[in-house]
């Protein structure tokens, strides 16, 4: 019988969030500064032709959360268990935090587009863009937010699966676990046309539903790989 | 609350390796228990199952009447301090203590401060910069100040110097008397810490060798010393009709010392003395050495 409680999972989410607040803020400061520097540099020497914010945010946030997922399973989970939490508490707490971060990242990406479009309009860059701006309607904004949120869910789930796989199975067998581990990410990326396969598989709402299913599949994998995860013995 | 522990036919396997092989015993709780065993005997495996670090391959473990594995109500009351403390290497000592304060419901911050001073722990240093003994002292500080109803120390003193180890033993006893709970100490330094144990569990090759009151176990061991022929004859006579096991023999020239284990009643003791042989006590550590040298003896003797 597995028992858990919401307060323990909430405490885990708060502890992880608090512990990574500086890193999270630092990440978005780097993204913002990098974007501003890139805009200034390209505009000065070449002239902007497309949205630079999309360059910075289409991949970096999801990879950032992938790393957090790996760390959560391979480093934080064993420690939480050593301090009197259950694996389920940690899964639920980490999942809750991933959900909050996915929503926050989706919102920040939209805010970034808003800032960029204001800057582009104020400086006349908008008139010189050769590529269409990624957001020209509410539908575009919703689409980008949904993509970002789904990817920001499936990546940390996958990170958790991979981190737990290596922690549980070691380097060699853990590497074999990469194949089922990354399958949900690959399928979600494909379904969302989010970068890997250009525009060959633009599925719209069906793609979003398929990606949501990938998130669920990844969460199920995360459950199975850690539900009875043995905590390694220590030495030295 | 001082939870009792019930272990029934407990089995744990790592692939083809059998770590625990049908272990069965019961601890009433509210005592200091010594868990003894040779290297690789299954001590850490047993403790890992008790603390829900691992799921048993078979059998049953109950802590306070409930299976601890993935049981939030049970595991929050368990503190398992291993030979290497479960903290992040790159965080400061102060942060490691703050973390425990945040997550442990019974954390005693004032007592933790006292232990930090006692063990001279540098709060501003990172854990990775601590000497081996200081890391162990940090683990002991976490273990004692957590005040968990079930507190487990598994070789937690590694690298600590003698004064620090004795300070640990003193604190363990004093804090246990002030805040009674179930404490399990797994150790190889039996002579140092043996006096703290109220009960002793000895395991070997994943099986129970003996579970006894510590004093009772000591009383069941005796050494008979004297001329070899006399010792052999008398021990042979004593074993007739008694559940007495010869654990070991040592001989130097014509003098022999035989260690026996079992119930040696007063008439038997008087007979040894009357025959001019010396009847001596056996240290817990010596009993342990003998008992684990002869695993076929005394299994499930309780």
Q: In whole angstroms, give the CA distance from residue B49 to residue B43.
A: 10
End-to-end CA distance of chain A: 34
Q: What percentage of chain B carries pLDDT values higher than 70?
A: 97
Phi, psi of B201 (to 5 degrees): -115, 125
CA distance B177 to B30: 10
CB contact under 8 A, A79 and B67: no
User: Which of B133-142, B195-204, B278-287 is least confident?
Assistant: B278-287
Q: From A168, which residue of chain B is nearest by alpha-carbon distance?
A: B54
Which chain A positions have a beta carbon within 8 Å of B73's beta carbon? 3
CA distance B205 to B300: 14
What tokens does B295 get?
Answer: 């695993």
pLDDT of residue A201: 40
ipTM: 0.87
Reported as type and span, the H/E element at residue B99 is: helix B93-103
Tens digits of residue pLDDT in A86-110: 999 999 999 999 999 999 999 999 9
The verdict on a CB contact (< 8 Å) between A3 and B72 is yes
Beta strands per DSSP E along A6-120: none
In chain B, which residue's Cα lies nearest the Cα of A234? Answer: B84
Nearest to B70 among A2, A5, A78 (CB): A2
Smallest CA-to-CA distance from B268 within B237, B225, B302, B299 is with: B237
- B50: contact with A, CB 8 A cutoff: no
B15 contact A CB<8A? no
Contacts of B183 (CB under 8 A, 6+ apart): B31, B32, B33, B151, B152, B153, B172, B176
Between CA B227 and CA B253 the distance in angstroms is 9
CB contact under 8 A, B72 and A233: no
Q: Look at residue B267 in the predicted model and tell me its pLDDT.
A: 85
Question: Residue B294's pLDDT is what?
Answer: 53
**Mean pLDDT in chain B?**
91
Cβ <8 Å between A3 and B73: yes
- Cβ distance A100 to A18 under 8 Å? no
Verify whether the Cβ–Cβ distance A85 to B87 is below 8 Å: no
Which residue among B53, B67, B73 sits closest to A231, beta carbon to beta carbon? B53
Confidence band, pLDDT 50/70/90 cuts, at residue A1: low
| Coil, strand or helix at B207 | strand
| Under 8 Å between Cβ of B295 and B204 | yes
* Residues within 8 A of B (CB atoms), A 7-26 only: 8, 11, 15
**A-B contacts at Cβ under 8 angstroms:** 79
Which chain B residues are within 8 Å of A15, Cβ to Cβ? 99, 102-103
Average pLDDT over chain A, rounded to whole? 89
pLDDT digits (tens, 9 = 90+) for B43-100: 999 999 999 999 999 999 999 999 999 999 999 999 999 988 899 899 999 999 999 9
Chain B partners within 8 Å of A235 (Cβ): 83-84
B86 and chain A in contact, CB less than 8 A: yes
Question: pTM of the entire structure?
Answer: 0.88
Q: CA A147 to CA A131: how far, in whole Å?
A: 20
- 8 A C-beta contact, residue B116 and residue B125: no
Name the minimum distance, in Å, from the CA of B112 to any CA of chain A: 16
Neighbours of B163 (CB within 10 A): 9
Contact B52 A2 (CB under 8 A): no
Q: Give the separation between CA A99 and CA A81, rounded to whole angstroms.
A: 22
Interface test with B, best of A12, A86, A90 (most B CBs within 10 A): A86
- B16-44 tens-digit pLDDT: 899 999 999 999 999 999 999 999 999 99
Cβ distance A72 to A156 under 8 Å? yes
Question: Could you read off the pLDDT of A112-125 as tens digits, one per residue?
Answer: 999 999 999 998 88
Which two tokens mark A142? Answer: 């919703």
Within an 8 Å CB–CB cutoff, is residue B133 touching chain A?
no
CB contact under 8 A, B86 and A11: no
């Amino acid at each position: 019988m597995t028992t858990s409680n919401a307060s323990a999972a909430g405490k885990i989410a708060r502890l992880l969030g608090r512990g990574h607040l500086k890193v999270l803020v630092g990440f978005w400061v780097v993204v913002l500064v990098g974007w501003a520097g890139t805009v200034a540099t390209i505009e000065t020497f070449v002239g902007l032709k497309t949205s630079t914010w999309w360059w910075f945010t289409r991949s970096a946030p999801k990879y950032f959360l992938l790393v957090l997922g790996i760390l959560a399973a391979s480093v934080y989970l064993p420690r939480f268990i050593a301090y009197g939490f259950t694996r389920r508490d940690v899964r639920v707490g980490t999942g809750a935090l991933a959900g909050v971060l996915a929503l926050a990242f989706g919102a920040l990406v939209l805010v970034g587009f808003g800032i960029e479009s204001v800057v582009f309009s104020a400086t006349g860059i908008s008139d010189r863009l050769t590529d269409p701006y990624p957001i020209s309607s509410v539908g575009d904004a919703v689409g980008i937010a949904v993509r970002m949120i789904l990817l920001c869910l499936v990546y940390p789930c996958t990170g958790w699966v991979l981190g737990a796989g290596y922690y549980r199975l070691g380097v060699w067998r853990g590497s074999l676990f990469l194949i089922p581990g990354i399958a949900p990410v690959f399928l979600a990326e494909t379904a969302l046309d989010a970068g890997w396969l250009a525009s060959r598989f633009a599925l719209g709402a069906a793609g979003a539903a398929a990606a949501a299913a990938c998130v669920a599949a990844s969460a199920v994998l995360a459950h199975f790989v850690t539900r009875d995860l043995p905590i390694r013995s220590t030495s030295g | 609350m001082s939870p009792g522990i019930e272990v029934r036919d407990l089995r744990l396997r790592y692939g083809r390796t059998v770590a625990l092989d049908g272990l069965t015993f019961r601890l009433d709780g509210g005592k200091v228990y010594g868990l003894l065993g040779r290297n690789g005997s299954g001590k850490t495996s047993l403790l890992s199952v008790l603390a829900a670090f691992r799921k048993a391959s078979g059998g049953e473990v109950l802590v306070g009447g409930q299976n601890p594995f993935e049981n939030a109500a049970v595991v929050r009351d368990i503190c398992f301090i291993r030979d290497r403390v479960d903290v992040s290497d790159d965080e400061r000592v102060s942060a490691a203590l703050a973390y425990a304060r945040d997550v442990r419901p019974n954390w005693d911050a004032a007592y933790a401060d006292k232990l930090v001073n006692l063990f001279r722990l540098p709060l501003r240093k990172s854990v990775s910069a601590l000497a081996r003994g200081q890391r162990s002292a940090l683990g002991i500080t976490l273990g004692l100040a957590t005040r968990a109803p079930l507190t487990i120390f598994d070789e937690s003193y590694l690298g600590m110097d003698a004064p620090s180890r004795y300070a640990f033993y003193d604190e363990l006893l004093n804090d246990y008397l002030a805040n009674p709970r179930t404490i399990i100490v797994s150790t190889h330094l039996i002579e140092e810490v043996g006096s703290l144990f109220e009960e002793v569990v000895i395991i070997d090759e994943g099986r129970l060798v003996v579970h006894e009151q510590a004093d009772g176990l000591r009383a069941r061991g005796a050494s008979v010393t004297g001329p070899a022929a006399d010792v052999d004859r008398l021990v042979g006579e004593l074993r007739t009709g008694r559940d007495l096991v010869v654990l070991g023999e040592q001989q130097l020239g014509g003098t022999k010392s035989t260690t026996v284990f079992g119930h040696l009643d007063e008439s038997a003791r008087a007979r040894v003395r009357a025959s001019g042989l010396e009847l001596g006590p056996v240290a817990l550590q010596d009993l342990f050495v003998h008992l684990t040298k002869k695993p076929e003896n005394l299994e499930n003797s309780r």
